[in-house]
Chains A and B, each alone.
Chain A
Amino acid sequence: MAEPQPVLEMTGISKQFPGVRALSGVDFRLLPGEIHALLGENGAGKSTLVKVLTGVYELDEGRISLNGAPVRFSSPLQSQQSGISTVYQEVNLCPNLTVAENILLGREPTRRGAIRWRELRRRAAELAARIGLELDVSAPLGAYPLAIQQLVAIVRAVGIDAKVLILDEPTSSLDRDEVERLFGVMRRLKAEGVAILFVSHFLDQIYEVCDRMTILRNGQLVGEYPVTELDQVALVQKMIGRELGELEALTGHIRPAVGDPLVETRGLGRKGAIEPFDLSIHRGEVVGLAGLLGSGRTESARLLFGADGADSGEVRIEERKVSLDSPVAAIAHGIAFCSENRKTEGLVPDLTVRENIILALQAARGWTRPIPAAQRDELVAKYITALDVRPANPEAKVGTLSGGNQQKVLLARWLITQPKLLILDEPTRGIDVGAKAEIQKLVVSLSEEGMSLLFISAELEEVLRLSHTIGVLRDRRLVAQIANGPDVTADRILETIASGAGT
């Protein structure tokens, strides 16, 4: 066993929250120069472990040693000073400051109290170049796309002497090319001996870039495996602790479009967002939208929901021309919309699960007609059970739930209103495999019950598996509408996206 000494070793880590044992006796280690994936369903304890490691939480039991010396962190600052850097899912930088300022914020080169701007820019450019990032460091950070901001966050985190880098779901808002670029940077850092802890829900990515993985389930360690020794199916089974028949059962489920047209758009468009498009959605039909990030998927959904105003075209619902100039109008016509940004456009984090669930229904009834308490509790309990929201406590603050459960709360909010058309924008992003399968199953059963769905996802396989019709978007244009069938494959969709040719 010529394994090098771990740069980081955590043994017997336990962490208790009121009513929940988030981690019990978990061991974890990181070797220098490796990329190590931390895997588990939502609520398995991944984020708790990361937060213990970064000093956000104090551990109840267990030991952490860094380079063989025992350490104890009681604040994020201490953890950072010992050489553990973290980049979170959301970029935590200041978009109004320049790239250079962001990179060196808090450690600016100074002379007699004054910042040496030239030196600041030089050093920042140097650090950026070290991971192969060449950009104008004197431009404001906000001028760059999210992916570059993410890389800048990594430059900042790595700094001069980070030994351990934690990447907490850094890829969830990046497109394929951007992910590739991030992986390049990760490999480069790895070659320099940095130990990287990589948290991601995208299994393909883990197989592409990681060396080893540690799997958690219900706050306990399942095991540590080299990536080459565990295939995806085995991995998923270890993560959810049961067989994966459910996901399999859905594949090959393709039915012809049923029912009359429910919603039809004619030349609906908005300048700078989406070119005018014609789209029809039938009763009981699942229409999937495929396309790269920024191709206009979300924009077209927002027009249908009245979240943004259209500046051309018209919408017909049940063959009658309607005006969808606000969400209120769209909701009145039976349209519901789950935004891709759960936190900023979906949840009201201070309110309870119950309040979040009834919000849409209550808004539709108006403030003078509160839902009677008994009816409200019954409805909420019904949907909490049906969607298996955990914890099944309607009084819990929704902000404390895991991503998958927050998504279920949002689904419940709209299902309770019994919409005719449900628009789901990336409903499975950033949630675990188990919850993902449940949401996919739900889409199928809703459509079988006659509800129409507009399903947006960056994962082609998912769109292919669930949709009757697939709309392909490219450069803010709806370029093709393909009826799903046995001959429609991911490759063919990709080809359409790439060539822009309709069928």
Chain B
Amino acid sequence: MTNLDWRAATRHRLFWPVAVLVALLLINVPFTPGFFAIHVRAGHLYGSLVNILIFSAPIVLVALGMTLVIATGGIDLSVGAVLAIAGAASCLYISKETDQNSLSGVLIAVAIGLGAGLVCGAWNGWLVAGRGVQPIVATLILMVAGRGVAQLITSGQIITINSNTPFGVIGGYWLGFPFSVLLIAVMVTLAVVLTRRTALGLLIESVGGNAEASRLVGIRARRIKLMAYIFCGLCAALAGLINSSNLSAADSNNAGLWIELDAILAVVIGGTSLLGGRFYLGGTVIGALIIETLQNTIFTIGVPTQTNLVFKAVMVIFVFLLQSPAFRAKVFRRRARPSAPAVADAAPPATLTTSEVGR
């Protein structure tokens, strides 16, 4: 019976992503003493796991928005640029403030940053849903142009701001708790409630699964798509604020560089198809955590810097192989083979069929 439960568990969608994440975390243990330890130091939560969570915040957020966009059958390449624009706009406002500690000033800066994200998302959504431009082309425009806009905002400089302002809280600590982790929790909950407690999730999956059928069933696909892109822009902007708050600066050239690819990777690891349709927010979060943990692991086990990317690539391929039923069947069959004939002899023909199905 427990054997059966175990089998059912391995078939769960999230089993392999979670297994990979756990394995990655375990790899860290021999290299980092007290890896799993979490303690309070100077009133703040500290520990390797806490760090991973904090650093994963931007990619979790961006991947979250990306999941919904991909589910509608689209893609958003501009998230990195939007992240940079939001960071630049907020930092510019704060840097011009005479008192950078003023809470109202910081709130306005945050609103400006998020507003920029909403506008960018609406622009993408308008191109895709309103004008019918292919998503990859439509968002490529902002991916390229957006970085230019960000540089324009910062006049090509890196804008620095004071680190001990209320703005610093976004990427730092709030009441001893890492604020960005709180933000992740809020945004994930928001996304889940927005899609699963309303009918939005079903309609998104329908539009992504069969656009023409969705039109003929009376779904206002344009509106749905527009909402997905706007949400994605908002998530990217939030990630930009966290990023700038962490650095106490806005670096238009490097903020969120290539994050769109990591985000897409996280979505795919999480089990959402790039073709659109069914989407899995939980899977995306796990996928993003895997990517961040991998990054962290590369540093802690001391992989030489120049081999970083190759190592990451190999690990990603490994993760995908593990998730492929065909690959698993091949590997695990080889291990299971010696005992198989005995089972087949003893059991009625029905068992034989089930063992054959595994091919």
Q: Which residues of A contact B (CB under 8 A)?
A: 16, 18, 58, 60-61, 305, 307, 327-328, 331, 337, 339, 344-351, 355, 358-360, 362-371, 413
Contacts and interface: CB of A to CB of B under 8 A. Distances in A.
Q: Which 5 A-B pairs have the closest CB atoms?
A: A348-B209, A331-B218, A370-B199, A363-B218, A367-B200
Contacts of A368: 198-199
Contacts of A60: 352-353, 356
A61 B200 CA distance: 46
B278 interface: yes
A190 to B, nearest CB: 36
Given A58-B356, A327-B217, A344-B213, A350 B202 contact: no
B182 interface: no
B155 interface: no
A370 B201 CA distance: 10
A362 B202 contact: yes
Given A348-B205, A348-B210, A360-B218, A365 B278 contact: no
A350 B278 contact: yes
Nearest to A356: B206
Given A348-B210, A368-B199, 17 more contacts: A16-B353, A327-B217, A328-B218, A328-B220, A344-B212, A346-B216, A350-B205, A351-B206, A351-B209, A355-B205, A355-B206, A362-B199, A362-B203, A367-B200, A367-B203, A367-B224, A413-B217
Chain B residues touching A, majority SS: helix
A350 B204 CA distance: 12
Contacts of A345: 212-213, 216
A45 B41 CA distance: 68
29 contacts: A18-B357, A60-B353, A327-B215, A327-B217, A328-B218, A328-B220, A344-B212, A345-B213, A346-B213, A348-B206, A348-B210, A350-B209, A355-B202, A355-B205, A355-B206, A358-B202, A359-B214, A359-B219, A360-B218, A362-B203, A363-B214, A363-B217, A363-B218, A364-B218, A366-B199, A367-B198, A367-B200, A367-B203, A368-B199
B335 interface: no
A362 B201 CA distance: 11
Nearest to B214: A348
Interface in B183-238: 197-200, 202-203, 205-206, 209-210, 212-220, 224
A364 to B, nearest CB: 6
Nearest to A397: B278
B209 A359 contact: no
Contacts, number: 89
Contacts of B205: 348, 350-351, 355
B217 A307 contact: no
Given A345-B216, A362-B199, A58 B353 contact: no
Contacts of A371: 199
Interface residues of B, number: 29
B202 to A, nearest CB: 6
- Most-contacted residue by chain B among A61, A331, A364, A370 (CB, 10 A): A370
B199 A349 contact: no
B349 interface: yes
Residue among B199, B203, B215 facing the most chain A CB atoms (10 A cut-off): B199
A350 B277 contact: yes
Contact of A359 (B202, B278, B353, B357): B202
A359 B220 contact: no
Nearest to A413: B217
B7 interface: no
B334 interface: no
Nearest to A339: B216
A120 B199 CA distance: 54
B337 interface: no
A16 B356 CA distance: 10
Contacts of B357: 16, 18
Nearest to A368: B198
A350 B219 CA distance: 17
Contacts of A346: 213, 216
Contacts of B198: 367-370
Contacts of A347: 210, 213
Nearest to A370: B199
A193 to B, nearest CB: 35
Given A58-B359, A344-B210, A348-B210, A363 B219 contact: yes
A305 B206 CA distance: 20
A184 B101 CA distance: 87
A61 B350 CA distance: 11
Contacts of B212: 344-345
Contacts of B210: 344, 347-349
A368 B350 CA distance: 48
A328 to B, nearest CB: 5
Contacts of B213: 344-348
Contacts of B206: 348, 351, 355, 359
A304 to B, nearest CB: 13
A125 to B, nearest CB: 37
Contacts of A305: 216
B216 A363 contact: no
Contacts of A362: 199, 202-203
A331 to B, nearest CB: 4
A168 to B, nearest CB: 23
A327 B212 CA distance: 11
B349 A61 contact: yes
Contacts of A355: 202, 205-206
A327 B278 CA distance: 24
A345 B278 CA distance: 18
A373 to B, nearest CB: 11
Interface string B77-106: 000000000000000000000000000000
Nearest to B227: A367
B199 A327 contact: no
Interface string B317-359: 0000000000000000000000000000000011011001101
Nearest to A342: B213
A58 B352 CA distance: 13
Contact of A327 (B218, B349, B353): B218
A61 B277 CA distance: 37
Interface in B101-158: none
